[in-house]
Structure 1
């Protein structure tokens, strides 16, 4: 079975809904669409030659190398969600070497993890697959739990272990977001000075973003603005959750919005909502990668394929997927990551 037939079979009755959609609100002609020359789009920026080389290493590695798309394996859940909760389904990943091995076996563009994980085996693997060091984290051992992204090391330390890029998270909307924004802006400046690329996890976090039973943390308008703040501090790639709804500003009652804004930019179709996110990444000049989400078991394959289709057809640049891959036997994780990669290589799945 070829890829397009597999995708149609996987999506089932939803196949035409996702594969036949055309974005009419923000047309694809306005976008910078991912392609083999993606790194050259930075040549008129202030990124120095070392950064361009790092971006080329990232975009040209693995099964998607040279396509303009990227698939990154992120495993920092040992800190973010606790190690036991993250790895009890597959104890292999308590061993950091297996994290790197999974990314290599699956042909990922890069592996994103903690200082500890990547440093432990950097001499053996930093020249074999691009390292993306996640420099800040939230942790859940503080009681009562709090939600704050705190630096776990320096940008120079990441460079010394051979990293191609650094990654960081900002909880936009949180009480701590101003401090995080300043910390990461400075960190990104230093990373670019050293020749590393920058990837920002643009997450929203505030208890007020849940209202009347509706959760707007993944709304298109809030996540879109988070993306726009991320590219403002010169992230070279934006990581964002796929939007699940819209009207966060309107229904929570803050920020700047009007009905014409929503009507002119998007509909409730998932691809249009994701296109809204892409538009806020300088119309695709900064690549948007969506997260694969948590593992739910039997539905993982369909959800991963659907997310990849939505991201690609919206004009996004790839998928960053961890839990669906590592919370199962390695061969099954490799197979799932390969299926996602095939969506991005399939020419019959085009930008909507």
Structure 2
């Protein structure tokens, strides 16, 4: 792969960077033996360990310890029209699953309805991850809250390997969401399924000149709360700035060492701090691909390189893949996976 073509002027900065904030030998890094080395000593049951291993054993990244997931819950989260108008084929759930299979993904993540519509045909062909709660935008005026559309037992009955949920940390509703999701994840583990938590920040107060919902310190703390709920995998937006605690004043607690020693302005160091808050990588960090745009391929490569070199476990990219013709979506997913398959791209 011609990384210079995608990374352009950032090529040397991203590929040659050495992380001196939190050294990589302090991390629990992804690898073929991750389940045995990191997950087996936990309180997860043998069935949960088997489910986690199923995720690691599927798709083009099978056997590497890295994950490439296709998430398509945007029909609820952003409205079906806004999400699928660019490519109406994806109004049909079968095409969502086909994209994940042909794109070489480890799993497909979607709603109860999408996966339930084709479960008997595909649940044994690719691991299913059922997203349990959503933010729906049909209520007027719009509110921003995650509410449960599905129950854990429904995911288990359709043969899902994992369940996922979102918590809007920092929102007025977050206390309820934490309690609901804690109960759901407990039940999922009882039934032998893995758990994935979308650890997003949501509060208008976080936007003070910059969008501090993308700051390393605030997203890091959201990750830390997520692994406290025993999320096996953390999904987080990649950090693009820092100093959220400092900018908001009289909010939360932090330490000067977070900014002077444990992070720098380099994007790999910012993401390394996100990994550190996932119990030093004991829960894998997958970064989200973000909205689609004109430079999707370059953005996807950049995000994957930063995640891998920071010690992350992979990428979960949806709109960049499904809001285009299927062949192009497959190409984008494969391009992301190639970063994790490339032995020359090492931990910083």
- Superposition map of 1:302-313 within 5 A: 302-313=298-309
Give the CA deviation at 1:215.
1.3
Does residue 349 (structure 1) correspond to residue 345 (structure 2)? The answer is yes
* Structure 2 unpaired stretches of 5+: none
Give the CA deviation at 1:230.
0.2
Does residue 276 (structure 1) correspond to residue 273 (structure 2)? The answer is yes
- What is the aligned counterpart of 1:147 among 140, 144, 165? 144
Give the CA deviation at 1:8.
2.4
Give the CA deviation at 1:10.
1.6
- What is the aligned counterpart of 1:187 among 179, 184, 188? 184
Encode CA deviations 1:108-154: one digit per residue, 9 max, x unaligned: 00000000000000000000000000000001111111000000011
Give the CA deviation at 1:344.
0.2
Correspondence for 1:266 = 263
Does residue 319 (structure 1) correspond to residue 315 (structure 2)? The answer is yes
Does residue 108 (structure 1) correspond to residue 105 (structure 2)? The answer is yes
| TM-score, scaled to structure 1 | 0.97
Correspondence for 1:330 = 326
Correspondence for 2:4 = 8
Correspondence for 1:18 = 14
CA distance in 2, matches of 1:258, 1:292: 30
CA distance in 2, matches of 1:215, 1:76: 24
Q: Secondary structure at the match of 1:239?
A: strand
Does residue 169 (structure 1) correspond to residue 166 (structure 2)? The answer is yes
- What is the aligned counterpart of 1:77 among 62, 74, 78? 74
Give the CA deviation at 1:244.
1.2
CA distance in 1, matches of 2:82, 2:46: 41
Correspondence for 1:61 = 58
- Superposition map of 1:24-103 within 5 A: 24-40=20-36, 41-103=38-100
Q: Secondary structure at the match of 1:293?
A: coil
* Aligned-CA RMSD value: 0.7
Give the CA deviation at 1:64.
0.1
Does residue 224 (structure 1) correspond to residue 190 (structure 2)? The answer is no
Give the CA deviation at 1:260.
2.6
Does residue 197 (structure 1) correspond to residue 184 (structure 2)? The answer is no
CA distance in 2, matches of 1:290, 1:185: 22
Q: Secondary structure at the match of 2:346?
A: coil
* Structure 1 unpaired stretches of 5+: none
Correspondence for 2:242 = 246
- What is the aligned counterpart of 1:296 among 272, 293, 298? 293
Give the CA deviation at 1:285.
1.1
Encode CA deviations 1:201-249: one digit per residue, 9 max, x unaligned: 00000111112x2211111000000000000010000000000110000
CA distance in 1, matches of 2:4, 2:338: 13
Q: Secondary structure at the match of 1:267?
A: coil
Q: Secondary structure at the match of 2:184?
A: helix
CA distance in 2, matches of 1:199, 1:255: 25
